[in-house]
Amino acid sequence: MRLHLLLVACLLPLSVNPAIAGVKLKDIVEVEGVRGNDLVGYGLVVGLNGTGDGMRNIPYAEEALSNLLERLGINVQGENFRPKNVAAVLVTGTLPPFARAGSQIDVTISAIGDAKNLTGGMLIMTPLNAADGQIYAVAQGPVLVSGFAAEGDAASVTEGVPTSGTIPNGARVERELDFDFSEMKTLRLTLRSPDFTTAERVEGIINSKVGKPIATMLDSTAVEIILGNNFSSPAHLISAIENFEITPAQKARVVVDQRSGTIVLGSDVRISSVAVAQGNLSIRIRELPGVVQPNPFSRNGETIVIPRTDITVEESPDQKVAVLNENVTLADLVDGLNALGVSPREMIDILKSIKTAGALHAELIVQ
């Protein structure tokens, strides 16, 4: 008995702590206005080993290469200039918040023509524009490709995507965003997963920790904070509150991916009293035609095909009916469905039917 109580005492903290453990405030909210900005540009990758664009099929690649060479003082107009080591690409990246001139960001390179492989290529200086049409960064550097392609006369193999790659720190910021964070008098925290209860908890934890009612819940998504004279700057305010721990409220959800057969059920999923039956009926049809031929050397004979169809109906003899009682938990639901011996794809159909019957008290998200 003493050993049994000792084991219970040791296991109790392990089962309680995960339930009461909170998450940091900065992991569930975003500060309005503090965000990245997408950049895009059109450029050329050179130095490919004969795997670039076919200039006859991709005229814009030839035009871009000609313009590039002309800016460098080389005139190729009217020349039969059709290299195979050049590829037209789109360059994309994200300008992070508070990025300063001279800092570097990662960029992604994607072929837009009929280039087969970008391995070993070099991106030539490419300006990157934002949605306002202004140039905020310039990208250049060797392209890193994780996929590869190899082919012979009778076979070929492709692993990954050899027509797309990255350049770590491949773009240098040339222009800063016109955004002065230090001049803001109010801040608005936006929840990544909107929820009224979570927003109220965010309001409560900030006011209780700071000691003043500086936070106000606006709706299920936003909590507004008045800076006032409590902090010297918005940056100091965010630094003071972003590590506050909070337990977010979550909706009961069941996420289903039909393509892979993946099912993810939240711990708050509840099932009303319902009976589930899983049947396994299979019908197999086989065609076994017979052929009747005339006698040898017969002049008026004719070959006739006689159709023969074999239909077999099989039904699993060990069909089961499971009854799920009121307020069944996630563990009970999984155990009940596993008792039926259903596969993940069959379980998806069962969950849909339970939701249609009104017995699944959770949001069913089908992807």
Among 75-84, 113-122, 150-159, 248-257, whose mean pLDDT is lowest?
Answer: 150-159
Q: Which of 66-70, 155-159, 322-326 holds the top average pLDDT? A: 66-70
| Residue 165, token pair as written in the block | 């790659």
Contact predicate 256/365, CB 8 Å: yes
- For residue 300, pLDDT over 80 is answered with no
Among 128-137, 227-236, 296-305, whose mean pLDDT is lowest?
Answer: 296-305
User: Which pLDDT score is estimated for 257?
Assistant: 77
> SS3 for the chain, per residue?
CHHHHHHHHHHHHHHHHHHHCCEEHHHCEEECCCCCEEEEEEEEEECCCCCCCCCCCCHHHHHHHHHHHHHCCCCCCCCCCCCCCEEEEEEEEEECCCCCCCCEEEEEEEECCCCCCCCCCEEEEEEEECCCCCEEEEEEEECECCCEEEECCCCEEEECCCCEEEEEEEEEECCCCCCCHHHCCEEEEEECCCCHHHHHHHHHHHHHHHCCCCEEECCCCEEEEECCCCCCCHHHHHHHHCCCEECCCCCCEEEEECCCCEEEECCCCEECCEEEEECCEEEEEEECCEEECCCCCCCCCCCEEECCEEEEEEECCCCEEEEECCCECHHHHHHHHHHCCCCHHHHHHHHHHHHHCCCEECEEEEC
% of residues, the chain, pLDDT over 70: 73
User: Which pLDDT score is estimated for 21?
Assistant: 56
Higher-pLDDT residue of 48 and 280 is: 48
**Structure confidence by residue, pLDDT tens digits, 100-136:** 899 999 999 999 888 888 888 999 999 999 998 899 9
Higher-pLDDT residue of 228 and 325 is: 228
* Mean pLDDT of all residues belonging to the chain: 77
- What Å distances lie between residue 366 and 56, 258, 261, 348, 355, CA to CA? 45, 7, 11, 9, 12
Read off the pLDDT of each residue in 350-359 and give the average, rounded to a whole number: 76
- The CA distance from 334 to 264, in Å, is 11
Burial of 49 (0-12, 13-18, 19+ CB in 10 A): exposed
- The CA distance from 6 to 1, in Å, is 9
pLDDT band at 54 (very low <50, low <70, confident <90, very high): confident
| Closest of 54, 165, 55, 158 to residue 108, by C-alpha | 165
Higher-pLDDT residue of 280 and 62 is: 62
- The CA distance from 305 to 348, in Å, is 45
User: Which pLDDT score is estimated for 22?
Assistant: 79
